[in-house]
Structure 1
Amino acid sequence: MIIDAHCHVWPDHIAPQVLAQRPAGLDPRHDGTLDGLRRTMDEAGIDLAMTLAVATVAKNVARTNEFIGGVDRSRFIPFGTVHPDLPVAANIASLRDNGIGGVKLHPLFQGLSLADPAVHEILHGLAAEGIVVITHAGAGGDAQANDRGAPHHLRTIIDTVPGLKLIACHFGGYHRLDEAEQAVLGTDVHLETSWPPTLRGLDADRVREIIARHGASRIIYGSDWPMSDPATEIAAVRALGLPPADEEAILGGNLARLLGIAPLAHD
């Protein structure tokens, strides 16, 4: 089973507007729609994908969660949104009302900091509800934006929010990998593999060393669709030459276990 942990989607009429802005300075490889993602998954042999939704302002949390909560659950795993300008109870109620069991945080686009006590309060609430959190980590914007997602903030969260099921994108530090290795390797956080525009941009020996040090059981494949191409990223993982059991776990088994997903019939 292959599960992609990192797929951004928007309603059909919004996706072109968002992608025209070249998020994080990247050129999109795909169209950002649910139908486009389904086609990509079929072409790449992906069974399931986490569909990530992000509200940049508090007033859009409700309608964003309504959209993502309505995805086809046979192919998509909805990860909704929260915002520190809303009370914790209101954020959790919006997720619960739409049957959403996961949240995406994005320090670059939401203007939130992983060091903000209001964000930590939300994380405590999510941990208590058993809601899985995936967050951008590292650079990708201006200096202030980069600091909001700095890897050392992840370590504070790991140490102070017990029970939180946390996935850190980009090995815990996009273009801040030295800091991520210092801050998060060896912790209980799950590290996700995307590195747009492609994982092949990282030295393969370094990637193998990170996996060995952190433990293959806590590494999760993600593409960062539509900014990267999933088939290319799956090939990059396979090109690492990992033991077959580790490769299988990274491409889907670890995430299935974290999310409580049973193996598919053809597995």
Structure 2
Amino acid sequence: MTGVDSTGRPQPFDFHARLIPGPDEPGRLLAAMDRAGIGRAAVCAGGLLPLDRLAEQLNDGGRTETEADNEGVRAACERSGGRLLPFYFADPVRDVDAYGKNAVDFRGLEISPAVHGIRLDDTGVIELVDIAASAGHPVYVVTVAQPGARAIDLVRLAARFPDVTFVWGHCGHTGLDVAGLRTLAGRPNVLAELSGCLTVTARLAVARLGASRVLFGTEYPLQQPEVELCKVAALDLVPEDRSAVLGANARRVLGEEP
């Protein structure tokens, strides 16, 4: 059975990995998952811009015109034997129609203020989330420091779409956005994804949001999956909460059974 270990127990479910265009995928990701004991993963296009440029845009804002290889992600997931679930990485400026036409082939949506330089109240963002609502897709967003794309702006967007599940990627972009956790705590349709954040932030995410609103992710290939598994282990969660964070919550959000 896909996603279980030799005893029949569910393996960790990575809610956030990326696929870089090229012939090595999905084999390289699947091999990394096997080494770490991860059963399944939600994946999105990566490699849209160099890391130096991404870092600059995280700090100062900006926009890339590079198109995400969403079709490549879909095709790679189709070759994965059910282990990889594709997310559509949408540019709100030009991808609204394309996402609307192809949403049925994907399992979620990613919107990135850092990559595409948008505000979360932009018309294109609202149109994309409206499509996600119709498709039953969760929406993954990493907030940044620019006006219109902060944690409070994600709260406002989530309040406008109370039936959509939003996922706050990396618990913000700094690794230590505990103020953002406080901002999001009262908005129940926003969950926090842990990849890249500090252990103290991950621990506060569970304490402030509850384990049912926290998701394990790796940000592969920028992070080794084993590092993120060690972080969850360091939280010393009770077994029920650990199971929720490592997979049960992801399966619930994505409509997947253990």
1:233 deviates by: 0.9
Q: Which residue of 1 aligns with 2:36?
A: 44
Q: Which residue of 2 aligns with 1:85?
A: 93
Q: Which residue of 1 aligns with 2:194?
A: 193
Q: 1:122 aligns with which of 119, 125, 128?
A: 128
Verify: 1:229 aligned to 2:224, yes or no. Answer: yes
Q: Which residue of 2 aligns with 1:177?
A: 177
Give unpaired runs (5+ residues) of structure 1. Answer: 14-31, 140-145
**247-256 or 184-193, which deviates more:** 184-193
1:9 deviates by: 0.9
1:237 deviates by: 0.4
Please state whether the residue corresponding to 2:205 is helix, strand or coil: helix
Alignment CA distance shift 1:37-1:52 (3 Å): same
The correspondence of residues 1-267 of structure 1 with structure 2, limited to 5 A, is 1-12=11-22, 33-53=25-45, 60=67, 64-70=69-75, 71=77, 72-86=80-94, 88-96=96-104, 99-138=105-144, 146-147=146-147, 149-172=149-172, 174-175=174-175, 177-188=177-188, 189-195=190-196, 199=197, 201-203=198-200, 207-263=202-258
Q: Residues 92 and 125 of structure 2 are in contact (CA less than 8 Å); yes or no, is this contact kept in structure 1? A: yes
**Counterpart amino acid of residue 118 in structure 1:** G
Give unpaired runs (5+ residues) of structure 2. Answer: 1-10, 49-62
CA distance in 2, matches of 1:169, 1:149: 13
Q: Residues 128 and 163 of structure 1 are in contact (CA less than 8 Å); yes or no, is this contact kept in structure 2? A: no
CA distance in 2, matches of 1:81, 1:242: 32
Q: What percentage of aligned pairs have identical amino acids?
A: 28
1:240 deviates by: 0.8
1:87 deviates by: 6.5
CA distance in 2, matches of 1:134, 1:75: 19
Report how many residues are paired.
229
Q: Deviation per CA, 1:115-169: give whole Å up to 9, x if none.
A: 3232122212211221221112235xxxxxx445311111111111231121111
1:59 deviates by: 8.2
Aligned CA-pair RMSD: 2.4
**78-87 or 220-229, which deviates more:** 78-87
**Counterpart amino acid of residue 3 in structure 1:** F
Q: Residues 182 and 208 of structure 2 are in contact (CA less than 8 Å); yes or no, is this contact kept in structure 1? A: no
Alignment CA distance shift 1:130-1:73 (3 Å): farther
Q: Residues 58 and 86 of structure 1 are in contact (CA less than 8 Å); yes or no, is this contact kept in structure 2? A: no
**Counterpart amino acid of residue 208 in structure 1:** R
CA distance in 2, matches of 1:240, 1:230: 16
**Counterpart amino acid of residue 191 in structure 1:** A
**Counterpart amino acid of residue 20 in structure 2:** W
Q: Deviation per CA, 1:42-79: give whole Å up to 9, x if none.
A: 00000001111267867836xx2211111225211111
**Counterpart amino acid of residue 155 in structure 2:** R
Normalized against structure 2, the TM-score is what?
A: 0.80
1:243 deviates by: 0.5
**Counterpart amino acid of residue 132 in structure 2:** L
Alignment CA distance shift 1:149-1:39 (3 Å): farther
CA distance in 1, matches of 2:165, 2:178: 23
Alignment CA distance shift 1:80-1:73 (3 Å): farther
